[in-house]
Amino acid sequence: MTRRRWIADEVSGNYAALTGEHADHLIRVLRVRVGQEFDISTGDAVLHWHVVKIENHRVEFELGDEVSAAPSADVTLLLAIFKFDRMEWAIEKCTELGVARIVPVIAHRTDTHLVRASAKRAERWRRIALQAAEQARRATPPEIGGPLKIDQAVGLSGATKIVLAESENQVQLRDVLSSSASEGETLLAIGPEGGWTDAELEQFRTAGWAAASLGPTILRAETAAIAALAITISEQT
Question: What are the domain boundaries of the chain?
Answer: 5-67, 75-236
Helices assigned H by DSSP within the chain: 20-24, 84-97, 112-135, 150-153, 173-179, 198-206, 221-236
pLDDT in tens, 125-168: 999 999 999 988 888 899 998 999 999 999 999 889 999 998 88
Domain 75-236 sits in CATH at 3.40.1280.10
Mean pLDDT, range 92-108, rounded to an integer: 96
> What is the C-alpha separation between 110 and 48, in angstroms, rounded?
44
pLDDT at residue 70 in the model: 66
pLDDT at residue 108 in the model: 94
pLDDT at residue 153 in the model: 95
Mean pLDDT, range 81-98, rounded to an integer: 96
- pLDDT at 116 exceeding the cut of 80: yes
pLDDT at residue 48 in the model: 86
Query: Do residues 234 and 98 lie in contact, with contact meaning Cβ atoms separated by under 8 Å?
Result: no
pLDDT at residue 49 in the model: 86
| pLDDT level of residue 182 (50, 70, 90 thresholds) | low
| pLDDT level of residue 1 (50, 70, 90 thresholds) | very low
**How is 92-139 classified by DSSP, letter by letter?**
HHHHHHT-SEEEEEE-TTS-HHHHHHHHHHHHHHHHHHHHHHHHTT-S
Mean pLDDT, range 15-19, rounded to an integer: 92
Strand, helix or coil for residue 173: helix
Give the domain 5-67 fold: Ribosomal Protein L25; Chain P (2.40.240)
DSSP 172: B
Average the pLDDT over each of 50-54, 71-75, 187-191 and give the range with the smallest value: 71-75
Average pLDDT, the chain: 90
- pLDDT at 69 exceeding the cut of 70: no
| pLDDT level of residue 179 (50, 70, 90 thresholds) | confident
Residue 92: name the closest of 106, 109, 79 by CA. Answer: 79
